[in-house]
Structure 1
Amino acid sequence: MAGRRRPPRTRAPRQDRPAGVGRTESRVGIARLEGLLAWEAEIAAAERDARAFAEQFPWLPAAERENLERAYAADRLRYAEEVVDRAVERCRRLAARYRSECRRICARWAALCLSVTLAAALFAVVPAALRG
């Protein structure tokens, strides 16, 4: 029984690579491989559970039991896909929130550093201007 499989998501390779990109690409590749393995394990578990569920109905003909297995596995994989999609969307929302928060904090630090620099410059220039 073949489970529903997600198509692999691919990106076009970048030509201009900054330093350290190879390491990042390796991490992304490993994460994709882990995701693929986890999805294959979910397919295997769905098929195993579908078989166990269908075995509860021994009076069903073999063809109907196979249809029941297919429907059960497809429903479970559809649910698993929805769970994964919700988790991915939540991660994206959190990442966007953290990026905006980081930008806000960086802007505050930049403003603080600029104001301290200006204050130090004023304290250095004003006494000299008053003396001379």
Structure 2
Amino acid sequence: MASSDEEGEIVPNCITNYHFVDSNGGVASFSILPLQWGEDDILGALNSEIFLRGTADDGLQPIYKKVLAWRFELSYALPEIHVLSKDKIWIKLLKPRTGYVDTIRTVLITVHFLHFVKKNPDTVGGIVWNYIGKSLRC
């Protein structure tokens, strides 16, 4: 876990059972956040405040953090999605809250598709959809 300068707060490296809410408390997708491609390349503008809710430390630490951007990484065995906290710390998103999967399904399918095609550029459609179906069972 990383430390924040604000009141000695500990910011976790990864979150489970997560979902995002807007400033009114409504459910939101992290895809409305600006997407960061490189170190300094953030695409899009943040038009509203978005907050990450979830748990860390095997459910022992509740998390509520303002987030500024998101990114995905395709280089690992499984794709990874991270969000940038207001403290400028990247937080890895693990398993979303069960009811939240429908809200972010399109983003998850896209990231998993890109990951699979990057690793298997000569594959055919049916195999890709089988992989995505297995990967997104939450």
TM range (shorter): under 0.3
Q: Which has the higher strand share?
A: 2
Name the TM-score, length of structure 2 as normaliser. Answer: 0.21
Name the TM-score, length of structure 1 as normaliser. Answer: 0.22
Higher relative contact order (CA 8 A, sep 6+): 1
In our comparison, the structure showing a higher alpha carbon Rg is 1
